[in-house]
């Protein structure tokens, strides 16, 4: 189930891979393309003449990352919740792996594909003679993927067993 906590966590993860400014631009564009949307303080960044409204960009970034993501007040919750479809749309386009992770959750299919990817990365690191630190990181990620699959499969098995 995708809830605000999941999306806020994903937004934090995403902003480690790209800058807040990039994420703001992607989210703003996705928000403005929504067929129906709640009116919140999100302003156009890219103008019709091709110029950029840097003031709007800054305001949007502050609202998204420093106000609404806090999710402490009723107003912050309402505004962040109104932005969730745009955040998910932007992630789907610009970070499909992260989008898949938060939308597929703990499905066995997703976890198997993650395991295949991570174990392949570890095998490639060993065959290509990667530095030990890189090889260890790839193995840790493969181990994490197998543990996640094991955990999800056990939960599924226990649900069907009762």
Could you state, in order of their start, the residue ranges of all structural domains in the chain? 4-99, 108-161
**Rounded to whole angstroms, how far apart are CA atoms 101 and 107?**
9
For residue 1, pLDDT over 90 is answered with: no
> What integer pLDDT is reported at residue 5 of this predicted model?
87
Q: Indicate the CATH number for domain 4-99.
A: 1.10.3600
> Which residues make Cβ contacts (< 8 Å) with residue 59, sequence separation at least 6?
41, 43
Contact indicator for 110, 91 with CB cutoff of 8 Å:
no
**pTM, to two decimals:** 0.68
> Which residues make Cβ contacts (< 8 Å) with residue 107, sequence separation at least 6?
152
> What integer pLDDT is reported at residue 160 of this predicted model?
65
**Rounded to whole angstroms, how far apart are CA atoms 23 and 17?**
10
pLDDT level of residue 2 (50, 70, 90 thresholds): confident
Contact indicator for 145, 118 with CB cutoff of 8 Å:
yes
Write out pLDDT tens, residues 59-73. Answer: 999 999 999 999 999
Match 């745009």 to its residue by tokens.
86
**Rounded to whole angstroms, how far apart are CA atoms 118 and 123?**
9
Write out pLDDT tens, residues 3-32. Answer: 888 899 889 989 888 999 999 999 999 999
* Concatenated DSSP letters of 117-152: HHHHHHHHHHHTT--HHHHHHHHHHHHHHHHHHHHH
For residue 40, pLDDT over 90 is answered with: yes
**β-pair partners for 52:** 46
> What integer pLDDT is reported at residue 106 of this predicted model?
67
Write out pLDDT tens, residues 96-147. Answer: 888 887 887 667 887 888 899 999 999 999 999 999 999 999 999 999 889 9
For residue 162, pLDDT over 60 is answered with: no
């Amino acid at each position: 189930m995708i809830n605000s906590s999941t999306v806020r966590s994903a937004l934090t993860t995403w902003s480690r891979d790209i800058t807040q400014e990039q994420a703001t631009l992607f989210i703003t564009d996705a928000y403005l393309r929504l067929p129906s949307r709640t009116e919140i303080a999100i302003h156009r960044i890219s103008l019709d003449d091709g110029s950029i409204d840097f003031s709007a960009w800054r305001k949007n970034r502050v609202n998204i990352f420093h106000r609404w993501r806090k999710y402490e007040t009723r107003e912050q919750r309402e505004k962040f919740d109104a932005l969730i479809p745009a955040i998910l749309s932007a992630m789907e386009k610009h970070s499909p792996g992260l989008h898949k992770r938060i939308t597929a959750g703990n499905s066995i299919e997703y976890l198997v594909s993650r395991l295949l990817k991570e174990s392949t990365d570890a095998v490639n690191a060993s065959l290509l003679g990667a530095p030990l630190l890189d090889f260890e990181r790839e193995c840790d990620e493969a181990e994490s993927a197998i543990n996640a699959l094991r955990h999800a499969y056990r939960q599924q098995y226990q649900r069907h067993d009762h």
